[in-house]
Every structure is written in C-alpha cells, then in structure tokens.
Structure 1
Amino acid sequence: MHRADRQGFVLVAVIGILSLIAALTGSALLALRSSVESVALADEEVALSGLAHAGMSLTAYRLLLEQKPAETLSGQSLPLPGGRFVASIRDEAGLVDLNGSKPELLASVYQASGASGMSPDTFVARLVAWRDEAKGQEEAGKGGSERGGKRPASGRPLRSLDEAASILGLTPRDVRALAHFVTVYNPDGKVNVLSASRAVLEALPGIARPTLEDILARRRNPAPGDVAALKSYLGALGDGIKTEPGPAYRVGITARGRTARAKSVSAVIASGNAELAPFHILEWSE
C-alpha cells in the first residue's frame, strides 16, 4: 500500500471515530437535557401540589375556624410562598340531599334537573326503598350488636351520586344533570336558601316567583335584618328549607407557581375537633 493510500485510510478512520464520538456525545447531552427537564418538571409538580394543599388548608381554616363567609373567600386570588391560589366554595347545604331530603323535594329536583332516564316517581320510589332498607339495616345492626352480631354492609346511606347511579339505575346523562342539584353531605335534608343556586331554588316545591326574586335580591345586598325577615315569611314553604350553612363545603383550589402551569384539587371539608383536627376531609380528588 502506498504511503498516500495509508494516510488516506487513517484519515478516514479518524474521521469515522470522531463522528462516532460526536454522535455518542450528542446522545449523552440529549439524555442529560431530558433528565434535567424531567427533574425540573417533577420539582415543579411537587411545588404546585404543595401550593394546592396549602391553599386548601388555609381556606378550610378561614372558612371553618375563623368562620369567614364563603362568598368572601370564593374567587379571591391569594398569595402563598412560591405562588398564588384561587378557591371556589360551595355550601353543600344549598343542595338537596339524597339521604335526608323529603321525597317531594327529590321528585321536584329530578324533574327540574332535566334528568329523563326514568320518571320522577320511579326515581323517588327507588331512592325511598333504599333509604327504608338502610333504616331497617341500622335497626337490625343495633339489635345485632347487642347480641354480638355485625351490621350488614348493604342498605347503608348513599356515599356519592356515582354510587346512587349504580344502585338506582341512573344514566350517565342523569348523573351529569343531577350533579348541580344533589349531595350526600347535607344530612338534615333542608336546603339553605341563602346559598342555593337559582336552579335549586326554582325546584323547591311551592316557591312563588316573587318570593324567589326577593330571596335573590336580599342575598345579593344583605342588610341587617334581612335573614330574620326571610325566616319570618319563608315558613310557608314548610320545614324543607333553612337559612343556615350546612356542616360541609365543597372547595376547589387552583394553584399557580412562577410559570404558567397550574394544579387543581377538590375536596369536601367539614368541621372537626379544633384541637385534634381542625377540619375533616370527606372527599378528595385531583
């Protein structure tokens, strides 16, 4: 092999080796960059999760312990170390309770919601049958506990609208329609007319249009004595309503850090023991 040929061969080999090294280096840098970005995203997710949980705790404290009105906390953008959060709050007493409300109210709400998978009478009949079974099982459980028995698992109060759908045979469309009207966290079954939506108020049996508009007007700009005045003349609607908030609130928290990303969580919270547990989380979703 001539000297020039050998030099050319070596040059080609060197170029090939350098190209391979460059390719490997590039792959390593890409992998490193990907790892760094993944770590950064993971860190940001942890930070956002912490902000969302802190926002939930702060909102629960102000709502349940300081007893701040829900309407003054809902919708505010509040600062936290490392970001901000916005809370949305719904008083569950402003909804009709599947376990506690009267059958006529439940029938009216089913019809008003636009649900159509069954007749309102069928819906109420199935629900009342389940509630009667729950009551019977509770009584049987008490007797059984005295004899060392166990309470049967069936026939208990409904724990969610999704569970009601399975038990009562509600369609997915019915579930979506009823979600804005019913709850399982208002045990006395009475609707708080000061926090109920217009749609829920319109579904109340026996409520007249002037009364509905008066309620909405008074609670938009409440004046001293308005609640007392409402109580005095709302008695005509029966004992299915009230003017006090319930024991539970559905709180949604949207937290934002230093970037455009956001983290949302939702929970149903209720008052607890102020010393041991300031509040209880009855339901949580992310």
Structure 2
Amino acid sequence: MSRWANRRAPGGFTLVEVLIALTLLALLMLVLTSALSSMGQVESRVEQRIEAADDYRLSTALLDDALGRVSARRFASGRVDDGPTQIPFFQAGPDALAWIGVMPARFGLGGRHYLRLALERGAAGGQLVLRYAPWDGAPTYDAWGQAQAQVLAAPVGALSLRYMDPGSGRWSPVWPPPGVAAKDLPVSGLPAAVELDLDGPVPAWPPIVVALVPTYISDPSASGPVSGGGADNELADAPLHTAQPFGATEWRPRICAKASGMAIVAVLWIVAALSVLVIGVTGTVRQQVQAASSLREQVSGRALANAAVALVVQQLQVESQRPTGLADVQVSYSGVVMNVQVAPLNGLISLNGAAPDLLAALLQVAGGLPAAQAQALAETLVEWRDVPPQLSLTGEAGARGQSRRFEAPEDLLLVPGFGYDLYARVAPLVSADLSGTGRVNAEAAPPGVLAVLAQGNEARVAQYVAQRSSAQVGADLSAFNSAFTATGGSDLYRLRVSVPLEAGKMLLLVQDVALRPGASRTAPWRVLRTHSQVAPAAGA
C-alpha cells in the first residue's frame, strides 16, 4: 500500500534546493535591476539630447527665416557727416541686433516685423530672446519692452555677434565696420552674414552663421521690377510617413506539468524581467533608428534636389530662348532620376502690381469671400500697398512719402481685416517679388490662378489645362479676362523638384530663383526662397 502511495506522491524540492534557487534568483534579479536602471538612465539622456537637438533645430530655423528675409528698405539716416544719407533699419552691435525681417505666417503673426535678438536676464539666468513687433512703416523702433518675446536658448552666459563684409569677407563685431567709408559699403547697406556664438547652453551650441538675404523687392542691388506676377507657393504641411514598427512575435514557454510552483514562479520572474528589458531597449533603438533614418533621408533628398535645381538653372542660363510656360525636365544625378517642373513666376498674381479688380477676383474665387466684401478688401489692400503710412510725430521725416509695398506674401497679415485662414487660401497664388502691370501669364499659371482669371469657371479651366498639357498650339484663352492676362516670359522662375525616397515617400522642394545679371554677389543666379517637405509618393 505504501509502495503505491509513494509512486503517486508528487515530486518536491528539499529545503537546500529551495534556498539555492532563491539565492540564484536574487542574484539574477540584482543583475537585471542594475541593467534596467542603466538602461533607464541611458534612455533619459538620449531623450534629453533629442529634446536639446529639437530646440536647437527650431531656434536656428526661426533665425534662418527671420534673417533669411531682411528688409533693405532705406530711410533717412539724419547724418550730417560723410555717412550714408539713406540706410536700412539695421542696428548691429557685438551683443545685440535689431532689424526689420519677415516672420513666417501663422495665426495672429506673419509678415514684416521689427526684430531684436539679444541676451536678457530671466528666472534661470541669461536667456537668448527674440523680440518682435509688427512693422508699421516707421523707420525705427525702440519700445522693445512692449514687444512680444520668444526664448530661443537658456541658460546662456554670453552672446557674441559678428558681421561679414561682403566686399572684403572680413568679420566685424559691429556694423558698419569701423573705418569703412560709406561708398565702400554694399548697395543694400547690409552685411552678407551674421555669426552668432553662445556660451552656456547644454549641450553646447556650435557657432551659427546665417546668410543675411534682403527681400528681392527691397534690395537696391537687384534689377528693376518685372511685369506680371509670381507666387510664394507654400506647400501644405504633410505628415511624415515612417515605416510601421516591427511586430513582436508572442512566445510562450512550455512548462512541464510536473514542475513545482517554485520553478514556475522563478521562470515567470525571469521571463518578465527579460521582457521588460527587451521592450525598453527595442523602443529606444526603434526611436533612434526612425529619427536617424528620417533625418538622413531628408538631408540626402534635399542635397539631390539642390543638385537638380543647379543643373536646370545652369541650362536655363545658356538657353537662347527660355521657357515662357510650364516645362518638365528629367534630371539624373547620382543614380537618382528626378522630375523638375520649371515655371516663370509671372504665371501668378503680383501683390505689388495687380489692379483692384484682379485682387477682388482673387479674394472672391480663391478666398471664398462674397463679391462686395472681396471688392472692399481689395481696395484696402491697394490702399495699404500704395498710400504712405501716417507716422507719429516722433518718426523721422525721411520715412514719410514711402509706400509700404509688399515685400513678402506674409505681409498680407499686416493688412487690416486679413486673417490667417484667408491668407492660407490665397498665399499659394501670389508673389511679392514682381510688380509692373500686374497681368498674369496664363501659359505658366497653375489651375488656382486660372480659376481666378476665369471667374471660377472650373470647366473652362480644365479644358485649357488639357490643351496646354498636350502642347496644343493656340490654346483657347477666351474664358480668361483679357484685362488680367499677358504673354511672355520672365527672369524669375519657380522650380519644383520631386525626389523619390524610401518606403513610398517623396521629397518635394520648391525654389524660386532670379536669373538676372547681378542678382547675386556669389552666383550667376539668386535664390529667392526655398521650401521643402516629405510627403507620400503619388499612388503610395
């Protein structure tokens, strides 16, 4: 009887075996806890680095936007010595800089602003602060305490600024450089670049050099205006598509049915600890791989797109007859085939040359305003553009008599009654780089502008686009208001480059260039603006 009972009795562990198992389990958990703690510290440091890199990227992007489009509009200097009688608003010192620049468009903000970059004291110490106030036509601004502020970096111990003379290439802590005669300054009165060196941010910022580019319409070194219109055709923000995260295959350990409870608990603890470790490491690695892959793709794609633009622009420079309408060019560079669309900028509506009726049609068709409201706002636009602003008695007399004019499409947000929603609808169809008669070259116009010319007749627009795409000679222009249209090309072009990327993505780069002689000090052409984004490829 006892023999059968012993055979059916379940196997067990002795006290020594249990103590050994517990000791081994404690050692294993100690090692795993140390590993998990180290992994958490590494992940925290990585996140801090990523956050600091994002802050640096956003701050430098804002500086590029604000300094990349500087108003070179000149005002009376009030000087009685041999200095220049007309100078732009550009107050440059070794630790502070004030200027008039174009702020990127967003709700409640955009267009020309008075800007000041300087070091200010904050609760946590020194801060690099960008202050900004809307431009009102006055030649100077000094109420910086009332201006809005954006902290770019903190804490900052010291700020050092230098300015490059485009003639000599030398750097100076002030502008104009000491000892340089007025006749030796550049025509625009502005330096070629600004160098910013910060002491204090963690991790440390490298010295930042930003090319200082005057707006094309305000730069006296650029050639005269061109009849027709252009557009700052901003691409809508598209989400960055990344590859789907790797799926995890579920793994279930097979436990012997005869194993005792202690063994099951030990195995489950080990599996749980290892799972937490693997999940944490996998998440961190995946995040880093995705961020690095996305950045690498964008940098590589942008370099390829810039190369394609350079090749096409060089070809345009030597052409005896440049295209007067839309043209597609296939460019192969470094084994990548890219499509480049070339279009004269006078295929779009000029903010500085368009008549009130054309602006009213733009606001009604593209902006979606009622006819009466569109006409009234168009008259307001023309008045803001052409009528000199009424300055306060403290303003310099030399500033009187100057019409504002549009130096960037974002200036629309400075016009009373012009909101961001309306701006977003019409901004892709207008340009501030052109003036003159204000007529539109239909051969180079996108469908949105054609709809304005046709008073919203989409059927006639589709018919004309089909005829133009098939290179039909004598395409029917009867649907468009003849008072708004003109023929002929331009020296200003917009190039759109499509660069195929991995995972069904496409980098789209839009660059406006001026091909006029003397448009740039360093190249046969001048880049007016550049915009790029990553979007899904067509059909993806």
TM score, norm. by length of structure 2: 0.39
Amino acid at match of 1:248: L
- Decide which of 92, 111, 115 is 2:345's aligned counterpart: 92
Alignment coverage as a number of residue pairs: 258
What is the one-letter code of the residue matched to 1:190?
R
Which one of 353, 364, 369 corresponds to residue 116 of structure 1? 369
Instruction: Compare 212-221 and 86-95 and name the one that shifted more.
Output: 212-221
The residue that corresponds to 1:44 in the other structure is 293
Over the aligned positions, Cα root-mean-square deviation in angstroms equals: 4.4
Q: Distance in 1 between matches of 2:389 and 2:377?
A: 18
How far apart in 1 are the matches of 2:443 and 2:296?
37
Indicate whether 1:256 and 2:500 are aligned: yes
Distance 1:257 1:196, change over 3 A: closer
Structure 2 unaligned residues grouped into runs of 5+: 1-13, 37-273, 317-321, 392-396, 533-540
- 1:1-286 counterparts in 2 under 5 A? 5-22=15-32, 24=35, 26=274, 33-34=282-283, 36-67=285-316, 69=323, 71-73=326-328, 79-81=332-334, 85-88=338-341, 90-116=343-369, 119-133=373-387, 144=398, 151=399, 155-188=403-436, 189-198=438-447, 200-201=449-450, 203-204=452-453, 217=467, 220-223=470-473, 237=482, 241-271=485-515, 276-286=522-532
CA shift, 1:200, in A, is: 3.2
CA separation in 2, counterparts of 1:192 and 1:62? 25
Residues of 1 paired with 2:313 and 2:390: CA distance? 34
Mean alpha-carbon deviation: is it higher for 213-222 or for 7-16? 213-222
In the TM superposition, what is the alpha-carbon distance from 1:93 to its structure 2 partner?
1.1
Per the alignment, in what secondary structure is the counterpart of residue 266 of structure 1? strand
Distance in 2 (CA, whole Å) between partners of 1:247 and 1:134 is 29
The letter for the 2-side match of 1:12 is L
Tell me which residue corresponds to 2:53: none
Moved more, 25-34 or 47-56: 25-34
Q: Secondary structure at 1:179's aligned position in 2?
A: helix
Counterparts of 2:308 and 2:404, CA distance in 1: 31
Deviation per CA, 1:162-199, whole angstroms, max 9, x where unpaired?
Answer: 32033242234432432354322332322112112455
Q: Measured at CA, do residues 56 and 280 of structure 1 come closer, stay the same or move farther in structure 2, by a change above 3 Å? A: farther
Closer/same/farther in 2, CA of residues 5 and 261 from structure 1, 3 Å limit:
same
| AA in 2 matched with 1:58 | A
Structure 1 unaligned blocks of 5 or more: 138-142, 145-150
SS state at 2:444 partner: coil
3-state SS, counterpart of residue 101 of structure 1: coil
The answer to whether the 8 Å contact 1:265/1:285 transfers is: yes
Distance 1:241-1:80 versus aligned 2 partners, 3 A rule = same
Q: CA deviation at 1:29?
A: 5.7
Superposed displacement of residue 83, structure 1: 5.2
Whether the 8 Å contact between 1:250 and 1:268 is mirrored in structure 2 is: yes
Distance 2:16 2:450 in 1: 94
Relative distance call for 1:185 and 1:275 in structure 2 (3 A) is closer
Query: 8 Å contact 2:326–2:443 — kept in the other structure?
Result: no
Distance in 1 (alpha carbons) for counterparts of 2:415 and 2:303: 36
Distance 1:114 1:258 in 2: 36
Aligned to 2:226: none
Shift of 1:12: 0.9
What is the CA-CA distance between 1:246 and the residue it aligns to?
3.0
Matching residue's letter, 2:15: D
Cα 1:180/1:265, change in 2 over 3 Å: closer
Residue 194 of structure 1 aligns to a residue whose secondary structure is: helix
3-state DSSP class of the match of 1:66? helix
Change (3 A) 1:85 1:12: farther
Name whichever of 30-39 and 170-179 sits farther off: 30-39
More strand by share: 2
Aligned to 1:140: none
**CA spacing shift, 1:135–1:168, aligned 2, 3 Å:** closer
Identity across aligned pairs (percent)?
Answer: 18
Return the structure number with greater relative CO, CA threshold 8 A, min gap 6: 1
Segment drifting more, 270-279 vs 100-109: 270-279
One-letter code aligned to 1:167: V
CA contact (8 A) 1:115 1:173 kept: no
Q: Tell me the secondary structure at the aligned position of residue 443 of structure 2.
A: coil
- The 1:52/1:8 distance shift into structure 2, 3 A limit, reads closer
Query: How far 1:131 moved relative to its partner?
Result: 1.8
- Residues 129-172 of structure 1: per-residue CA shift (max 9 Å, x gap): 112235999xxxxx94xxxxxx58x9532233332033242234
CA contact (8 A) 2:499 2:507 kept: yes
